[in-house]
């Protein structure tokens, strides 16, 4: 029989918008071999019990170390025995989703036969879903990869190969695998937390220490399905670690670099809000409130002007580093801040450089 590992993967709810879905893109399976099972190779056993997954893909997953028996990786010729407990982690693939290829410009930073790195603009949804069936990054990728209209993205293996994603209103670097082997090898790096991911963010308040770490489990907010929160009980959340470093201080806000050790949904947004420094203009986590400042009307007008310049959470996926799935070479990519965040920083620099003496904290 097969069952889901407890709390291992949350099946996506089509009614939840893209920005509220799980960022972790892995399915976790657990098989307990029946007592009457005849001896059989593990790749054949799994293909018989996973009808929607090809034997070739299962063999690739076994080769890359995704399949364990008694908590140890096995080879494809391992003979399954009654009572064996098979644990299997596979990068998630959407099934039966019809994709409309659309000629949408992509800011491609790097591309070869295995991988593609692109710079996603803020406001662009990654996957088609409830309320967003066109104009998404996947629609653009389908066109770029020469996918035919009406093809389901699981038919030829070219779509559904994103190994991670970022929120709709977060800008920055995103990694795409162009074949099964590349996806499995890259997804393993995400699963092992060996991918380098650094973000730039503008947060409310003055972070007193130059650097720090937030180590706090994250789970879905039971009162709002689109929000996540830090859980007091570690058993109710997923392990999440964010390292941050101050880049520039403006008194009322701070420009920081955040390095992800794990990759939970809304992780930086939740963690920074948890320590009292929500992202600037992050409506979902309190960033649209004037969290620090003065009672003077000029300051409030200044903040309103800032919100107009950057009307989304001030978060940018700036750096992405990974081992190439074929060559084994370490690749690292860096992107410039988008115009809205750059303008926002310049406005704060000018404001702080000309701050009147009578402006004091509340």
Q: Which two tokens stand for residue 355?
A: 């701050």
Backbone angles phi, psi at 163, to 5 degrees: -100, -5
The contacts of residue 108 (CB under 8 Å, 6+ apart) are 116, 117, 118, 144
Query: By the 8 A CB rule, do 106 and 141 touch?
Result: yes
Is 167 a known active-site residue? yes
* For helices 297-309 and 339-353, angle between their N-to-C axes, nearest 10 degrees: 160
Q: Please report, for residues 4, 94, 119, 124, 362, the alpha-carbon distance to residue 202 in angstroms, rounded to integers and kept in the order given.
A: 38, 34, 19, 20, 21
The contacts of residue 309 (CB under 8 Å, 6+ apart) are 340, 343, 344, 347
What does DSSP say about strands 330-334 and 315-323: parallel, antiparallel, or unpaired? antiparallel
Cα 241 from Cα 223, distance rounded (Å): 24
Q: Which of 43, 84, 114, 167 is catalytic?
A: 167
Please, what is the Cα angle at 115 between 109 and 118, to 5 degrees?
A: 30
DSSP one-letter code for 353? H
Residues designated as active site: 167
């Amino acid at each position: 029989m097969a069952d889901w590992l407890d709390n291992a993967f949350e099946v996506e709810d089509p009614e939840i918008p893209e920005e509220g879905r799980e960022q972790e893109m892995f399915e976790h399976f657990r098989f307990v071999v029946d007592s009457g099972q005849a001896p059989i190779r593990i790749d054949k056993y799994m293909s018989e019990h996973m009808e929607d997954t090809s034997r070739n893909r299962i063999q690739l997953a076994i080769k890359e170390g995704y399949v364990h028996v008694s908590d140890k990786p096995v080879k494809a010729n391992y003979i399954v025995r009654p009572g064996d407990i098979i644990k299997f982690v596979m990068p998630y693939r959407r099934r039966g989703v019809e994709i409309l290829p659309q000629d949408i410009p992509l800011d491609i930073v790097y591309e070869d036969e295995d991988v593609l790195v692109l710079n996603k603009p803020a406001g662009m949804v990654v996957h088609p879903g409830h309320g967003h069936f066109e104009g998404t990054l996947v629609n653009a990728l389908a066109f770029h990869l020469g996918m035919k209209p009406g093809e389901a993205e699981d038919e030829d293996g070219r779509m559904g190969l994103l190994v991670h994603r970022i929120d709709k209103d977060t800008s920055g670097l995103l990694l795409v695998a162009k074949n099964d082997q590349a996806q499995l090898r890259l997804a393993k790096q995400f699963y092992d937390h060996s991918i380098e991911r650094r973000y730039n963010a503008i947060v409310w308040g003055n972070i007193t220490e130059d650097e720090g770490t937030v180590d706090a489990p994250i789970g879905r907010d039971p009162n709002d399905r689109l929000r996540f929160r830090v859980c007091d009980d570690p058993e109710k959340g997923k392990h999440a670690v964010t390292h941050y470093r101050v880049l520039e201080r403006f008194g009322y806000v701070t420009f920081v670099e955040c390095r992800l050790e794990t990759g939970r949904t809304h992780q930086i947004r939740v963690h920074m809000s948890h320590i009292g420094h929500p992202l600037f203009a992050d409506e979902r986590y309190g960033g649209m409130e004037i969290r620090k400042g003065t009672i003077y009307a000029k300051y409030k007008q200044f903040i309103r002007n800032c919100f107009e310049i950057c009307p989304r959470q001030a978060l940018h996926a700036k750096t992405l580093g990974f081992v190439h799935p074929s060559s084994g070479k370490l690749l690292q990519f860096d992107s410039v801040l988008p115009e809205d965040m750059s303008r926002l920083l310049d406005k704060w620099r000018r404001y702080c450089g000309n701050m009147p003496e009578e402006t004091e904290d509340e």
